[in-house]
A and B are shown apart, each in its own frame.
Chain A
Amino acid sequence: MIYEVSIIAIVVFLIFVGFTLGLSFWLGRKARSSEGYFAAHGQIPWFVNGIAFAGDYLSAASFLGICGMIAFYGYDGFLYSIGFLAGWVVALFVVAEPMKRLGKFTFADALDAKFDSKGIKLAAGISTLAVSVFYLIPQMVGAGVLIQPLLGFPHYVGVLIVGAVVITIVVTAGMVSTTWVQFLKGGLLVIFSAILTVLILSRGFKAGSDFESHDIVKDDPIQKEFQSKGSVLADDGPWKDKVDSSGNKYIRTQDESGEITVWKRDNGQRNHEQAYRQTYLECQLMEKIDGKVFINGLPKGKGEGERTLKPVGHLSKLPDGKEETGPLGLVSFFSTLQESEVVLWAKDDKFVGLKKGDSITIFYPKMAPGSQVLRPGEHPKFKGIRSNKLFDKLNFLSLMLALFCGTASLPHILIRYYTVKDAASARKSTIVGIASIGFFYVLTLYLGLGAMTSGAMDVSSSNMAAPLLAKSIDPTLFAIISAIAFTTVLGTVSGLILASSGAVTHDLAVSVLGMDLDDAAKVKLAKISSVVVGVIAIVLGILFEGMNVGYLVGWAFSVAASANLPALIMLLFWKKTTKQGIIAAVLVGMFSSLAWILLSADTYKSVYGWDPESAIVPFSQPGIVTIPLGFATLVVVSLLTQKNLTEKTVT
């Protein structure tokens, strides 16, 4: 049994949320003016702002998504860590200071500082909204994922709770409270991840698993060989022609209690020395029939005659045949794993002839040498690294480019430059941010691999890896980590909603529509738009349940980098940039990257449920096409509109 509602967890969780809300109300009294609401009066100390950067940035994606991806596939999740951090180099070295010099409240302000054009404000406002909403989706999904095991509520309730709490935070206080919430959460996240890492290292590795394997003599009838496991079920219905990825049939046995065990033939090389024997490995079976979920043929649940998925995550072999390693060091952790063998879990849900809405999923173990787990290219999304196809490699390059360029163009990160008093403080807080974020990302590799070998993973949800890892060590730690992760979501979501409401109020209402609003009316409008964006986020969070949140964030980065980066960079470094150029670049970058994502194989498969082969674009990550496209658009349009200007002045 993986999830139990725990009292400590609920108490710790309530204390966190209560404290956050209390802080928010208390600070909210100070922030009456729009200046205070959007930019905290420019008076946040740089160190606090630096840790708040970490709080903003280390979203659910970093903590839940990256750890989960590493726990299930190995090194690949760490590629996100590397890319996410490298993006800060762009933010600090290229964008930080000029941004601080130019702007006031929003990204659009900065872009528009030179031109004072409604068009720019409109384009930049829309792109801020688009990026924020895209970035909100994974946060909300993460929230639902967390609530489920913690409080025992279904996914959508979790999303609703987060939505409501966040809207309250943002509406009561704006940037001041958001910043302090981020500070608190950023600090706690880094500290507790470090504690968790120390505990992982002192626990070391253990070999062995609860799952059975069954050796049979190759040429004997299956019925006879599986006698000891109960009766072998006939391959009827959807099982008729069902084979695994190597073309072998699954074997299903049923014992007296009615529990079904699925066995998959092991294709590993472990039994080559005994060529006449064949090993079958125990799998886990999850079926959805008429809206009800069955695990191993019995109803899902914790009562008698019911089953839940068993926790997974084991090492099958340690170096030199050891059973246990004892405490490990920072380096020997990797070198030991490198020489071990890990049991990874994959799923097979390709069944034909099912009723609409029904599904059958087999989770099966796969033996993988440690050296394979610690190299890039094992995750299906990163297969490109090991493929010979050009498009697959481009997909990888494209993602790494988007991560590199994305950070500096995220609206909720950009607004944080305005909360300190001058450029020097912006610089200092960015350095503090890089230090704490970098430290955390180093830890993600330990956390992820620790989770992989913790024996506590939920095979059906990669997003839960980090909290479950904590649970395998200590239930109180699980409560604290879950509460921090939840605050993580709260913090990031409130920052995003704030960025969106700023865009609506300043860029769209005041500048574009020319609404003449006094300070109080501005804050009111901002609060109303916070509620609207919050509701949109709740809906999307419910729709996108089940996607890895790290992957979703990759998309947000692509859209941000394509829409905002070309305009920002060229404005800062190219004198011939015109306002038409900026508008065109923002719009083209945004729409092309959005369209690319909506037409990609990944979206076909995960969102629409269509055949990914029929997708229109050749690979899923847009960055490598749409970022240069944004730059090209800006240059071309700027050059064209320049000509008009000079002609006009000549005549």
Chain B
Amino acid sequence: MQYNTRLGLILFLIYLLFYCGFVFISAFSPQTMEITPIKGVNLAILYGFGLILAAFVMAMIYGVMCKSDDGETETSSSSDKNDGGDQS
């Protein structure tokens, strides 16, 4: 499997766990979402904002860690060719 693809899948699985945590706490233990751990703001809001922030942070990590140019890998040489064709 290509490096970028594997990186994407690993990040996806981490996020999936985080998201499932939110969904399952909401569904099976809604009262947990009502506790106010930080400064009077409840867990539902903190976790929700956390999920949005995490998506952004992980997208940045992915962007930085991906092999920058697709030309380095085998499969994408064909895509470059396609793209070239598209533009002409």
On A, residues with C-beta under 8 Å from B are: 35, 39, 41-43, 75, 78-79, 81-82, 85-86, 88-90, 92-94, 97-98, 100-101, 104, 331, 334-335, 338-339, 371, 374-377, 384-386, 393, 396-397, 400, 404, 421-424, 427-428, 430-431, 434-435, 438, 441-442, 445
Main secondary structure of the interface of A (DSSP, over half): helix
In the complex with contacts A88-B55, A94-B12, A377-B66 CB distance below 8 A: no
Q: How far is the CB of A615 from chain B (nearest CB, A)?
A: 22
Q: Are the CB atoms of A423 and B79 closer together than 8 Å?
A: yes
A400 surroundings in chain B (CB, below 8 A): 23
Instruction: Enumerate the 6 nearest inter-chain pairs by beta-carbon distance, A residue then B residue, closest first.
Output: A335-B40, A93-B8, A93-B12, A101-B79, A42-B86, A438-B52
Q: Are the CB atoms of B66 and A427 closer together than 8 Å?
A: yes
Q: Are the CB atoms of A428 and B83 closer together than 8 Å?
A: no
Q: How far is the CB of B73 from chain A (nearest CB, A)?
A: 10
Partner of A376, one of B26, B39, B53, B60: B26
Q: How far is the CB of B64 from chain A (nearest CB, A)?
A: 10
Q: How far is the CA of A423 from the CA of B86 in the complex (A)?
A: 14
B11 surroundings in chain A (CB, below 8 A): 89, 93
13 contacts between A and B (CB under 8 A): A82-B48, A82-B52, A85-B52, A89-B19, A92-B62, A97-B4, A97-B8, A338-B41, A374-B42, A377-B30, A423-B79, A431-B62, A441-B52
Q: How far is the CA of A393 from the CA of B23 in the complex (A)?
A: 10
A88 surroundings in chain B (CB, below 8 A): 55, 59
Output the nearest chain A residue to B70 by Cβ-Cβ distance: A423
A421 surroundings in chain B (CB, below 8 A): 83, 87
In the complex with contacts A335-B41, A338-B42, A375-B42, A385-B27 CB distance below 8 A: yes
B32-85 interface (Cβ within 8 A of A): 33-34, 36, 39-42, 44-45, 48-49, 51-53, 55-56, 58-60, 62-63, 66, 68-70, 75-76, 78-80, 82-83
A442 surroundings in chain B (CB, below 8 A): 49, 52
Q: Are the CB atoms of A78 and B48 closer together than 8 Å?
A: yes
Chain B residues touching A, range = 35 or more
Q: Are the CB atoms of A393 and B79 closer together than 8 Å?
A: no
Q: How far is the CA of A98 from the CA of B45 in the complex (A)?
A: 34
A338 surroundings in chain B (CB, below 8 A): 36, 40-42
Q: How far is the CB of A96 from chain B (nearest CB, A)?
A: 8
Partner of A89, one of B5, B12, B66, B76: B12
A424 surroundings in chain B (CB, below 8 A): 66, 68-70
On B, residues with C-beta under 8 Å from A are: 4-5, 8-9, 11-12, 15, 19, 22-23, 26-28, 30, 33-34, 36, 39-42, 44-45, 48-49, 51-53, 55-56, 58-60, 62-63, 66, 68-70, 75-76, 78-80, 82-83, 86-87
Partner of A75, one of B40, B44, B62, B80: B44
In the complex with contacts A335-B41, A375-B30, A397-B23, A434-B59 CB distance below 8 A: yes
Q: How far is the CA of A35 from the CA of B88 in the complex (A)?
A: 10
A93 surroundings in chain B (CB, below 8 A): 8-9, 11-12, 15, 58, 62
Q: Are the CB atoms of A376 and B44 closer together than 8 Å?
A: yes
A377 surroundings in chain B (CB, below 8 A): 26, 30
Output the nearest chain B residue to A98 by Cβ-Cβ distance: B5
Q: Are the CB atoms of B53 and A438 closer together than 8 Å?
A: yes
Q: Are the CB atoms of A89 and B15 closer together than 8 Å?
A: yes
Q: How far is the CA of A435 from the CA of B54 in the complex (A)?
A: 11
Output the nearest chain B residue to A424 by Cβ-Cβ distance: B70
Output the nearest chain A residue to B87 by Cβ-Cβ distance: A42
Q: How far is the CB of B15 from chain A (nearest CB, A)?
A: 5
